[in-house]
Amino acid sequence: MGCRTYIVDDNRRARQAVRTILGGDPFFQITGEAGDARDALERIPELKPDLVLMDIRMPGTDGIALTRILKDRMPDIKIVILTVSHDPADLLRAVRVGAQGYLVKSLDPSDWISYLRAVADGASPISEEVAARLVTKLVPPAEPPAGEVARRLTPREREILARIARGRSNREIAEELVISENTVKNHMKNIMAKLDVKNRAQLAALAVRGTLFPEE
């Protein structure tokens, strides 16, 4: 089963470049594209793509604001921010509004494919180095001690969280723990509710510290 993908970028050549990159992998099925927020807001709810590739810089409503609107209306949609920026502040903004990924346009096309496949498969592929830099901003200073946070979780939830910290996808977690992907997803929802995080990227940033598992 393929990944229905929608492209949002105000630059026509950039949209064509994305089409060309993804055209090398039949997994990605381009369902449409938009050059501005108005078209995107009209077409995306109608087409219901699995994945939206969102340029961060656009006239008027930018990619971050548009991501927030779409996630409010369609919480399950996966959105990856496209950018030329390596600025951690941009990544932080993207994560806070619910984006599942952050893709720098200068990456090699083969890296685009592997990255986006990971996102489509349920992973939140933000490197440990990046996640570590963001932890202090993503997690409020008043957060309870790590041991107390860990005690909110069941043993199974802690097993899953540990694997998220190692970058495992839902499928990989299911295979390692010999459970179904739906069971993994249900545990994920419970974990995010208990730890008061909005998306997998924030959860990965929290988990990557390792101090959630003080005895391990």
Kindly state whether residues 199 and 110 are assigned to the same domain.
Answer: no
End-to-end CA distance of the chain: 38
Kindly state whether residues 139 and 116 are assigned to the same domain.
Answer: no
Mean pLDDT to the nearest integer, 110-135: 68
Kindly state whether residues 13 and 105 are assigned to the same domain.
Answer: yes
Determine the Cα–Cα distance for residues 31 and 91; give it in Å rounded to an integer: 26
DSSP helix/strand/coil, 4? strand
Q: Which residue has the tokens 């548009």?
A: 66
For the beta carbon of residue 139, count every other beta carbon within 10 angstroms: 17
Kindly state whether residues 45 and 80 are assigned to the same domain.
Answer: yes
Residue 125 covered by a domain? no
Residue 71 covered by a domain? yes
DSSP helix/strand/coil, 33? strand
- Percent of the chain at pLDDT > 90 equals 36
pLDDT given for residue 12 in this prediction: 92
Range of the domain at 114: 3-120
Look up the pTM and report it.
Answer: 0.64
Residue 216 covered by a domain? no
Kindly state whether residues 91 and 187 are assigned to the same domain.
Answer: no
Summarize pLDDT for 13-71 with one digit per residue, the tens: 999 999 999 988 999 999 999 999 999 999 999 999 999 999 998 888 889 999 999 99
DSSP character string of 74-103: -TT-EEEEEES---HHHHHHHHHTT-SEEE
> What is the rounded average pLDDT for all residues in the chain?
80
Summarize pLDDT for 83-110 with one digit per residue, the tens: 887 676 777 788 778 888 888 888 788 8
Kindly state whether residues 149 and 83 are assigned to the same domain.
Answer: no
Kindly state whether residues 9 and 112 are assigned to the same domain.
Answer: yes
pLDDT given for residue 49 in this prediction: 96
**Per the structure, how many domains does the chain have?**
2
Kindly state whether residues 88 and 149 are assigned to the same domain.
Answer: no
Residue 213 covered by a domain? no
| Domain end call among 91, 120, 149 | 120
Residue 45's nearest CA partner among 72, 15, 26 is 72
| Domain end call among 120, 144, 169 | 120
More confident residue, 88 or 127: 88
pLDDT given for residue 194 in this prediction: 84
Summarize pLDDT for 156-166 with one digit per residue, the tens: 988 888 887 77
| Domain end call among 90, 120, 150 | 120
Determine the Cα–Cα distance for residues 61 and 213; give it in Å rounded to an integer: 41
Residue 164's nearest CA partner among 210, 115, 120 is 210
